[in-house]
Structure 1
């Protein structure tokens, strides 16, 4: 019988060598559910704007686990007690926090499943794996849900200064080439401490937190909410919705079995059972890309053109505005399209639509990022900082967009 070496290391372009801390983590990484993340793009269709942004959820999950190892070491060095069981649970929870992402990350939630979030699917995967691994993920699930009695452990997984954000900002900045998002995640982690079971940042780390919040705001406007990425994702959502519509009308579309399952069935949280989870685990970016390559030659006007636009990066025009788009403008573009191609208003609405996006780098009503002074005083970063912009960062900025075709489809 071949004995596997479970003390492997990964060479990461951001942090250098990442070590696997124990055999449970190794076995989870080896599992097909986790290996699937190699085929899920971290930044969706952002590579249509930033050609280097081809990194995956697999990269990100390993990076988060690496930063969690750093955080545990820092907090223990400062006298914070973290048991071996809690340490392992933190590594498991952060490793699997994104395991429920569908193809191209967020597009799936708004198209071929009915309001089922990736967090809910991640939870289902973790519970399924917990059965397979003799309940060794129970504590990790408690922490992931935010139900564990030691609050700071939950904050390391999900808060305004968690290991998820500490990795994705630095990683997405690196791969996209957008330098404004580059943060010093290791310094941020070195400045962490725990007071009254809450995560705090030592006073000397205040400038690193300021940089972190400003970087988050800039990354959202420049990459995650970039207008080209935005219109590409909207086209992808609408393409999948159209495919689902045609399937329900009796049309058989060329695609993989896994994708066919989600097109044929109305999947909601109530009927998302273990069988659906197994099929979901077979679904990744390649299913969607291979389907689009077939659908760009389909007879249906909507499906054909939407697929062609994404495959060949010949997207709709998109305009961002500070005010809501007037109905008259939408109707003008729709009627123009209907007349030109002799299509219905419903078909035209796939190509002419409006929506809104919002950016809020720091949320005042959620967990605060608290600063710990040498005197022992604790203060919210907004009050502690002399950076006037931080208060502005706590206010949501909303923009409205309108998409419509170029002169010719």
Structure 2
């Protein structure tokens, strides 16, 4: 039997708190899960610093990747024998679902910002490079690894397959909303996924939804909206991320200046040089990062040591509402006042902005094409979701942005210049009224 069609002697299952079971029967999928590159995802949290806000958020990208695979497996079971679905795309869809997050690094977005990285580029490199993953995929057929890479990169001609893992209603979002809600202990991310899977239908270039399932889709979109503002953009989580970013920035700056670290940061050197090999990238996971942060608390550089101590012991920055676009004068004054107080503003004063567009549809001339969610009406015609749903229309195309200023209140309290401290607090309290940290 050809490898691509080979089945395990008996079905394997992973016990899962969200989907109850993740079912694996294909030899290819089982072999991919066993590779070192996929097992590495166990050592990378799905939600980065969120565990410092919601203590249950310790789940990994390994958990999530299995969940996305399971959702796509269920979708394709329902697609069997339906028009527009090509059963020969089944294994391609399952592999792309399983491997879509393969290139994420530790604390993905912070690392990407500081070291000019892109996890999607590394996903491509892992899939097509000299890796265990590549060897498994190439056993399916020559060039199969590139086909999987093209689906994940959204450049594949198989638009329907792409939409299963990357669209406004896809398996990726359906898993992370439920999984993140489960592990953070919130109720916002719950929606009737089983209903959505039952009313999904394959079309030429994307999945569409039967009109009878519209209310389940409304619930899904509102769940996503709530999760972003209540969990993903939580200001305490963002505070931890600000400190994390500052640690990496400081370490990189010190290395560039020839600073002599007590422990040479071997795992970070190629990142500091912004010349990261695939081998170096795969060696760095969150356990390694924590090891360095733990030791850097003892560094002679006071800023690096202080920031690492804050991160490791959850002594986070406080925050106030602050819009840098409207309050540029206050921002510049704060910068000078912090310098006068002996608090380095480049590391202890930061405005962080969060924004989200909960649902949108393509408008000609826009930079990014966002395929709409289409409903299949009783007569068979397609109708864009917001034209049939008052709830979705109310939030469609509306981008919400939130700005907060983060600072170390304990360092301000320790300032001995009373007039200086008073002026700083006047500016801070004048913007958001109430200073917060939780």
Deviation digits for residues 115-147 of structure 1 (CA, Å, limit 9, x no counterpart): x22111111111124642333423322322333
- Extract unaligned runs of 5+ from structure 2: 1-7, 363-369, 413-438
> How far 1:108 moved relative to its partner?
1.1
For the pair 1:108 / 2:116, whether they are aligned, the reply is no
The structure number with the bigger radius of gyration is 2
- Per the alignment, residue 406 of structure 2 pairs with 403
> 2:375–2:382: 8 Å Cα contact kept in structure 1?
yes
Query: Structure 1 residue 323: deviation in Å?
Result: 6.8
2:67 matched residue in structure 1? 63
Choose the corresponding residue for 2:90, options 87, 91, 108: 87
| Residue 302, structure 1, aligned to residue 320, structure 2 | no
Contact 2:225 2:358 in 1 (8 A): yes
Deviation at 1:87, TM superposition (A): 0.8
Structure 1 contact 40–284 (Cα < 8 Å) conserved: yes
CA spacing shift, 1:232–1:6, aligned 2, 3 Å: farther
Q: 1:131 to 1:30 in 2, by over 3 A?
A: closer
Cα deviation, 1:305-351, whole Å, max 9, x if unaligned, reads 2111111111111123467352343344434433333x5xxx32211
Q: TM-score, normalised by structure 1?
A: 0.89
1:179 counterpart = 2:180? no
8 Å contact from structure 1 (residues 170, 185) kept in 2: no
CA–CA distance in structure 1, aligned partners of residues 134 and 51 of structure 2:
37
Gaps of 5+ in 1: none
What number of residue pairs does the alignment pair up? 390
Inter-partner Cα distance in structure 2 for 1:391 and 1:106: 30
Superposition RMSD in Å:
2.1
Would you say 1:260 and 2:269 are equivalent positions?
Answer: yes
| 1:334 equivalent in structure 2 | 335
Checking the alignment, whether the CA contact within 8 Å between 2:156 and 2:162 is kept in structure 1 is yes
Name the CA shift for 1:323/1:279 in 2 (closer, same or farther; >3 Å): closer
CA contact (8 A) 1:11 1:17 kept: yes
Distance 1:290 1:393, change over 3 A: farther
TM-score, normalised by the number of residues in structure 2? 0.84
Residue pairs, 1:226-245, within 5 angstroms: 226-245=234-253
Q: Is the Cα contact below 8 Å between 1:333 and 1:404 reproduced in 2?
A: no
2:24 is aligned to 20
Residue 38 of structure 1: aligned partner = 42
Q: Distance in 2 between matches of 1:82 and 1:51?
A: 43
- Counterpart of 1:324? 325
After TM superposition, list the pairs within 5 Å mapping 1:121-136 onto structure 2.
121-128=122-129, 129=131, 131-133=134-136, 134=138, 135=142, 136=144
CA gap of 1:256–1:76, structure 2 versus 1, over 3 A, is farther
> Which residue does 2:177 correspond to in 1?
169
Whether the 8 Å CA contact 2:359–2:395 is kept in 1: the answer is no
Match of 1:52 in 2: 56
Aligned to 2:290: 289
Does residue 14 of structure 2 align to residue 10 of structure 1?
Answer: yes
Instruction: Note the alpha carbon deviations across 1:142-179, whole angstroms, 9 max, x for none.
Output: 32233333321111121111110010001001100110
**Deviation of 1:235 (Å):** 1.3
Deviation at 1:289, TM superposition (A): 1.1
**Equivalent in the alignment of 1:120:** 121
